[in-house]
Amino acid sequence: MPPPRARGRPKAFHDKTEQNTVQSLDRAMALLRRLSERPGLTLSELAAETGQAPATVYRVLTTLQKHRMVEMEEAGQLWHVGAGSFRIGSAFLRRTKLAERARGPMQALMRQTGETANLGVECQEEVLFLAQVETHEAIRAFFPPGTLSPMHVSGIGKALLAWYPEDRVSRIIALRGLQGFTPRSLTDRAALAADLAQTRLRGVAIDDQEKAEGMRCIAAPIFNAFGEPVAGLSVSGPAFRIPLSEAGQIGALVRAAANEVTEAIGGTGR
C-alpha cells in the first residue's frame, strides 16, 4: 500500500491574517493582474496604479521576467504578461477538460455558421474566454484566450446570467455595475431582467451590438451534472452577417453545440 500523501495545506490554512500571506508574492500577483487588464505599461505606470514604489516594482518585475512570467518591450520600455504566465494558466484548461471537450463542437459550429465560435466561463463576475475557433473571413470577432468581458454586454455572460439564481445575478450587478459601451448596452436593471427572461424562453442569449457596435453574438449555456450553468458557447461576427432575422436558425445550431458539450462533460441540461 503506498504511503499517504502529505497534506496540501497547513493547519493554519483558514487563518487569513497578514502573517500568513507572503507580501512579495502578493505584490507580484497585483502586478500580473494589472498587466492582464492593461497590457503595455511602463514601470512608472505600474508603480502608480498599484501604489508600490518604483524600486519595489522593478525588483518584482525582474524576478518575474527571469521565469518568463512577464516580458519587456524595448521600444517604449513597456511591460507585458509573458509566455510563462500563459503556460501556467493553460493548466487550468487541462484540469477542467472543458476546452478539450468543447473543441470538436466549436469547430463544427464554426463550419456550420461561418462565424467565430467562442467558449467562456465566469471568472470573478466577468466572462473569461477560454478558447476560440476563428472563421476564415477577413472581418471577424476576436477574443483571444484570457480576454475578459463584462457579463451584461456579452452573449456568453447573458447566457449564464439567465440561468443563475436571482441572488447571484444581483450580487454580480452590485459588484460590477451595468456600464454602457454602446447605445444598445443594457444599463438598466429592469431592461436586463427582461432580456434575461427572453433568453430563457428562446434558449439562447443575443448580444446585439451591446459591447461593440457592428458586432453581434448568439450564445447558449453549458450545464454541469447538477444542472448548473458553468460555461457558455457562442458564435460572434459582424451584424451584417448575423442578421436578427436568422437568429432563430443560428441559435438552434449554437444551442445544439452547447448541449453536446454539456453531455460530453457529464452534465444535464434544463
Which ranges of the chain does DSSP label H, i.e. alpha helix?
Answer: 23-37, 43-50, 54-66, 83-96, 98-113, 155-161, 166-176, 189-202, 247-264
Q: How confident is the model at residue 9, as a pLDDT?
A: 46
Give the tens place of pLDDT for each residue, 218-233: 999 999 988 999 999 9
Residue 112: all three cell numbers together: 456550420
The top-level CATH class assigned to 97-264 is: alpha beta
| The CATH classification of domain 18-86, taken from the options 1.10.10.10, 3.40.50.300, 1.10.3720.10, 3.30.70.100 | 1.10.10.10
Q: How confident is the model at residue 137, as a pLDDT?
A: 78
Half-sphere exposure of 96 (CA within 13 A, CB side): 16
For the entire predicted model, the pTM comes to 0.69
Q: CA Rg, the chain, in Å?
A: 21
Check if the beta carbon of residue 259 is closer than 8 Å to that of residue 268: no
Q: Which amino acid is at 49?
A: E
Domain boundaries, the chain: 18-86, 97-264
Those residues whose C-beta lies under 8 Å from the C-beta of residue 245, and which sit 6 or more positions away, are none
Nearest by Cα to 98 from 266, 265, 270, 260: 265
Give the span between the Cα atoms of 156 and 179, in whole angstroms.
17
Residue whose C-alpha cell reads 454602457 in the numeric block: 180
Give the span between the Cα atoms of 54 and 34, in whole angstroms.
15
Q: How confident is the model at residue 40, as a pLDDT?
A: 86
Question: Which residues of the chain have a pLDDT value below 70?
Answer: 1-21, 90-96, 142, 270
Q: How confident is the model at residue 1, as a pLDDT?
A: 54
Check if the beta carbon of residue 150 is closer than 8 Å to that of residue 120: no
Check if the beta carbon of residue 93 is closer than 8 Å to that of residue 132: no
